[in-house]
Structure 1
């Protein structure tokens, strides 16, 4: 049984209809409303899944926002982090207790924009790479938000892109969760990937990849032979140094 979620019920049901038109009639897919900006919505979904199915084999966190245009300020940062980083984090925390400990997988969709080479401070980049706990990543996200508020983010080594930093947080979160969960649940694989520049409403019609091409790497992390690999960042079917 596959669950498709969206915060807009109308768009979610429309997407479900499109999917059902191209998959075998035997495929079991339904829609559930979810707003990852709301902890209540996340907890209600997790409770419903637990009650109806007991466990989860695969969780793909794909929800994200990106502001268009050159505007960069505290509001843009707050709003972007709330959805992309904190929303994804809360989804992981809510569903980790439900994940199959032997064969479960979590795939966090991140971005090539999350490469740490975008940071001008090697010290800052090393802090991301060397993070051991969620608190470490939370601290980095809070520092970014504070530095933008204070107007000194460039001097501190950050890039002027809320989306990019939010995805650095997601990739860092993925690595931390894989390390922590792997101690007791080595069969639970948690990885992140960039699907590429895909023709979606967010990326626009000029993006290089079709939606079908954009699913190749995420699907590999979801159902392919990962040989036990967890905590990695993938792009174009390759495990890349973050």
Structure 2
């Protein structure tokens, strides 16, 4: 059953401005990540836009940071660099992702399975490993994990893209873990399904625009301390997972 945000504990209180706050967005050189970075910038945040190559474009007014989420050295250097430059981190958006091999688990090449899990699940875990101490310095630090309805355990899991589905199920598990482990310390962690979006990953036939796909992730970034945590959201509504 799908429930509205107002039916789940309470209507979230939102920041109207993120002035003075700092955000790190992975995969921010294109698609949903770039749009999220752009909107957080417009809300007044200092935005670090993670990208695997320093030659990639990032939204104007954001800080480009080299960040291949599969490389722990990049992750550690990015987080340490943010701390050295601005001394805080308020929002982490784990957006970087790959679709992985199309076939079922039997047909999928092992190297591609490993790559998908490394980007979509191990990467966000590494980001949390290094960023959570910074996020906990201020009450209400947020982690927003960009997941997918394809990772919902209650739905049928046939149709190929095995590593992608499994990685997103695991990403939702990371969200639940962060809430269980750090929720009492003030951390707010949520997963979000942006829907099927016209990006390099989603393809040209997807029905949703990048702007529509970014709306709920950005909304979650605006949560104030005490807002719902440990949930899975689509179109600003809690969904089962």
| TM-score exceeds 0.5 | yes
User: Which has the larger Rg?
Assistant: 1
Are the equivalent residues in 1 in contact too, given 2:148–2:195 (CA < 8 A)? yes
2:117 corresponds to which residue? 81
Within-5 A mapping of 1:161-176: 161-176=162-177
User: Which structure features the higher share of helix residues?
Assistant: 1
1:234 corresponds to which residue? 233
Quick check: 1:3 aligned with 2:48?
yes
Runs of 4+ off more than 3 Å: 224-227
Gaps of 5+ in 1: 21-27, 121-153
Deviation at 1:224, TM superposition (A): 4.3
Aligned residues: 192
Distance in 1 (alpha carbons) for counterparts of 2:169 and 2:151? 5
Normalising by structure 2, report the TM-score: 0.74
Residue-by-residue CA offset, 1:97-135 (whole Å, 9 max, x unaligned): 111431311101011111002467xxxxxxxxxxxxxxx
Gaps of 5+ in 2: 1-45
Within-5 A mapping of 1:1-242: 1-11=46-56, 14=57, 16=58, 19-20=59-60, 28-70=61-103, 71-99=107-135, 100-118=137-155, 161-183=162-184, 185-186=185-186, 188-224=187-223, 228-242=227-241
RMSD, matched Cα:
2.1
Normalising by structure 1, report the TM-score: 0.74
